[in-house]
Amino acid sequence: MDFQDVVRRRRMVRSYDPDRPVPPDVVERIVHNGLRAPSAGFSQGWGFLVLDNPADIARFRDAVRPEEGPENWFAARVESPLLIVPHSNKDAYLDRYAQPDKGFVDRSDAWWPAPYWDIDTGMASLLMLLTAVDAGLGACFFGMPVDRIDAFREAFGVPPQFTPIGAISIGYSDEPPRDLRNRRRPVDEVVHRGRWS
């Protein structure tokens, strides 16, 4: 299957077959491919928490479930055989760019045009999503309530320098296929050639 086939099949899945775990070799391939993502200065300022048993996934739901409006958060009701929580580590980038070959010894983030620690972790997450789809799985990247991040950190022993940017649910889809082509924005609305307008 080529890249275009993977992109055509890609869709966010929120309902998974609870009786079909993701095989360990597929989990390893998903993680391995994510770790090959590009990173600014080869900083690799990321960390990934892999949850692949029902008790850990239940603990995740409990940790991120807000008291008000939990039904508004997929994180609070996710049921999948595999969750991967990608974390970014800003300090890894500031430390890397303070080295002699980069020269930003003050470790300031003021000159960064965008938070590459989050961007690079997002790129790694996308590679994991594409690998999952390539393996015939469904997957969904979703957000976590910001006011539950401390509870999540405590539940899983996440060091303070690592910040979750979301989570990825993965499993065998339990949803009927959907065609979302008519909801995609037209190319000429989002791609600008030579000049924005």
Judge residue 133's burial from the number of C-beta atoms within 10 Å of its C-beta, 0-12 exposed, 13-18 middle, 19 or more buried: buried
State mean pLDDT over 184-194. Answer: 87
Q: Is pLDDT above 60 for 24? A: yes
Whole-number pLDDT of residue 177: 67
State pLDDT tens for residues 123-168. Answer: 999 999 999 999 999 999 999 999 999 999 999 999 999 999 999 9
Whole-number pLDDT of residue 46: 97
Whole-number pLDDT of residue 11: 59
CA distance 88 to 162: 5
CA distance 70 to 68: 6
Q: What is the pTM of this model?
A: 0.87
State pLDDT tens for residues 42-58. Answer: 999 999 999 999 999 99
State mean pLDDT over 66-94. Answer: 94
Q: Which residues pair with 169 in a beta bridge?
A: 83, 140
Judge residue 66's burial from the number of C-beta atoms within 10 Å of its C-beta, 0-12 exposed, 13-18 middle, 19 or more buried: middle
Among 124, 90, 123, 131, which residue's Cα sits nearest to residue 109?
90
